[in-house]
Structure 1
């Protein structure tokens, strides 16, 4: 049974980090050791049995640190791998399945990822970036993360890793 899980992410304004923390919290409740790290700080995945990687979506692309992380094909191949995206600034991610953007889809295929899910995003006052600030100031920001959905998805990962696939 895999025991040690890396939950890593690429984010600009921190909302994807909070999703990664929520995923790790659920995995820990399932008895797994889960470490949360920004993607740019991960030098090696050798000490992890499984990996969950996520990225904030910006203009139809994963955040740059998440994109760079999944380029480590040799290191990630052979480990159970799940991927998530964070981004829509509306309730659509809670209402329907949103497929991965093309770059993430290619990475999933290349790395034989088990699954991908898109969660709602969050842009609130104080965000970095000209366009992000414009979205917030025009009233199109907000917090659309659905933590019940996030926790349910993470519970499925935990069940699979501890050998209880029926709990999904």
Structure 2
């Protein structure tokens, strides 16, 4: 059986898309049929066996498109293996220790019965959209704090969990 995984993400400056791409590539290497899509273009979630949903953090909130996707698809997401990720801290803290989800994401984690959440470092570089983003860069606090080795390890864990779960379902475990 092929395990179909949707990696859905919201993004403003495309750095979260690069995290989603890494997760998708790792899941494919793990033998899963992984597909990455913007949440606004994700289509029918029901055709996937599992979902990974991610969003950048802006002013302590998930991107509105990710919040809407989670609300609109809550019934389906709650019935599938689901993992959430956030990208945001513009420093090395996400690589140094686990950062708990922000309160609204924590509530989503519980409401949708998600299996896990990870906060990864963010990326804000020259050319970023938005007045606040430009102010942050101008103040010298921008940069790329994504830890792709950590992101890959997290995705490998998802792949392993899904292979085990579906092996048990098919009586192969």
Same fold? TM cut 0.5? yes
* TM-score (normalised: structure 1): 0.95
The aligned length equals 164
Output aligned runs, 1:12-161, within 5 Å. Answer: 12-71=12-71, 72-161=73-162
Per-residue CA deviations over 1:38-96 (Å, capped at 9, x if unaligned) read: 01112310110000000000000001111111102112121000000000000000001
Moved more, 60-69 or 1-10: 1-10
Structure ranking higher in helix proportion? 2
Secondary structure, counterpart of 1:127 in structure 2:
coil
C-alpha separation in 2, matches of 1:34 and 1:73 = 20
Find runs of 4+ consecutive structure 1 residues off by over 2 angstroms: none
Is the 1:55–1:62 contact (alpha carbons within 8 Å) kept by the matching residues of 2? yes
**C-alpha contact 2:2 2:33 (8 A) present in aligned 1:** no
Contact 1:2–1:161 (CA<8 Å) still a contact in 2? no
Alpha-carbon distance, 1:2 to partner: 6.3
TM-score, structure 2 normalization: 0.92
